[in-house]
Each structure stands twice: as structure tokens, then as C-alpha cells.
Amino acid sequence: MESGGLKDQRFMAARRRLIETIRSRGLDDLSILRLFEEVPRHHFLPPGVQSRAYEDAPLPIGWGQTASQPSLQAQTLQLLDVGPEDRVLEIGTGSGFFTALLARLADRVHSVERIRELSQRARRALDELEIRNVALLVGDGSIGWRKYGPYDRITVAAASPDIPPALLDQLAPSGRMVLPVGSRDLQELVLVEKDEEGEVVRNEAGDPCTFVPLLGRYGWPEE
């Protein structure tokens, strides 16, 4: 993995083209678009796919998993509305790229990944970019990470049959959660909002999408 930190200027023209693609899909929040220029996605990807890092596409990262599509990540960030004081829980660290985007917006990010090797690779990539406000855990994220909750924002990067009750429990009052919910093959991004009294409202907020399955206690069973 090459390291140039956040000053890594490789693929700058491709990064700008990606931003234009994301913008053309109706996502125009500048503070979010800027992140896709600032944070080098190629740095989080295996060498064989680094040259494709700025395509608006999911890309393989090993162990049968993918780095999510950038425009879907932009949409998730827009729905999450992360602020500088927020504590964020991410389920499905994967490559660690989205973790890095969250870390640039939030106070602290806690991220859970079930595949140890992916978590270790994400740790190295984050350390090389000197992104320090991230804690990683290897385990079943469908049960959350209770120790540091409740969280102001929760995001899940894998498809769930329903909203995992443990995550709802770990969402703070006035909190927001964004996750893909649906069948194993097709989902929709759902925005869950909890008000100050703890009442929950669920909105289908995005286009149809396909994520890898959330495997675990409140996800899909492992085959």
C-alpha cells in the first residue's frame, strides 16, 4: 500500500471526475463532495484495483467483500448529517475508506468488522493517513458495540433483513441511523430517526441498492 497521507495527490483528475459523477446524481453537499477529493480511496484498496479507485462502482477488497459505491456513500453521509461533536458507530469497516470519511466529519468513530484481516488492513491504512479518532473492533456488528454507546449516528454498510434491535437500542435520543434493509438481493436505504423522547420514525430514503449481506445474530445466517 503506498503512503502519502492525506497529502497523497495521485489520481487527482480522476477524483474530480468522481465528484462530478456524484454531483450529477443529485448529491450537492460541498462538505461531503470535498471529502472524496481529500481522502485517497486508492489507499484503502488492494493493489490490483487501485487504478479503478475513482470509478463510481463497488470494488472487490478480498474475502468476498466489496468497497461500497462512492455515490451510495455520499447519499448515506447526506442522510446521516454527521456533525463535529458526533460519536458514530459504523458496522462493516471493510476497506476502511468510509470509516476515514466519517472520521473527518465526526468527533469519534467506532467501527466493527467481522473479518479480522479486513479490520487489520483498514487499521494500517488509517494509521498511514494519521487518522486517529477511530476505534476498530472485530466481531458481530449486528449486536453493535455497547461499551461506547449510545451513538449519535449509526451506519451499516451491509444488507439487513430488518433494523437490528440492538442498534436501535444503542442509538442516542435525537440520533440518526442509515442502513440498507430488504432481501438478500435487493435493498433500500432506510433512515431511522429517534427523537428526544426516544420515539422512532423510519423513512425509506434512497434508491434500490445491493449490498453484501450483514451476517450475524440480527442479520442473515452464515451459510
Enumerate binding residues for ligand SAM (CB under 6 A).
61, 65-68, 91-92, 94-95, 97-98, 112-115, 118, 140-142, 157-158, 211-212, 214-216, 219
**Could you tell me the smallest distance in angstroms from the CB atom of residue 196 to ligand SAM?**
29
How wide is the angle at C-alpha 120 spanned by C-alphas 117 and 121, nearest 5°?
85
CB closer to ligand SAM, 69 vs 175: 69
**Could you tell me the smallest distance in angstroms from the CB atom of residue 195 to ligand SAM?**
27
State the Cα–Cα distance between residues 70 and 6, nearest whole angstrom.
18
CA 169 to chain centre: 20
CB closer to ligand SAM, 43 vs 87: 43
Count helices and strands (H / E) in the chain: 6, 9
| Cβ atoms within 10 Å, residue 197 | 7
CB closer to ligand SAM, 172 vs 215: 215
CB closer to ligand SAM, 182 vs 216: 216
**Could you tell me the smallest distance in angstroms from the CB atom of residue 101 to ligand SAM?**
9
Residue that has been written with the C-alpha cell 475508506 in this structure: 97
From the candidates 24, 68, 111, 183, give the one annotated as an active-site residue.
68
DSSP state letter for 156: E
List for the chain the helix, strand, coil content (%; round to 5).
Answer: 35, 30, 35
CB closer to ligand SAM, 81 vs 210: 210
State the Cα–Cα distance between residues 166 and 219, nearest whole angstrom.
11
State the Cα–Cα distance between residues 187 and 165, nearest whole angstrom.
18
Q: Mark whether 3 is an active-site residue.
A: no
**Could you tell me the smallest distance in angstroms from the CB atom of residue 187 to ligand SAM?**
12
What residue type is 71 in one-letter code?
S
How wide is the angle at C-alpha 114 spanned by C-alphas 220 and 22, nearest 5°?
85
Residue nearest to ligand SAM as judged by C-beta position:
94
Known catalytic residues?
A: 68
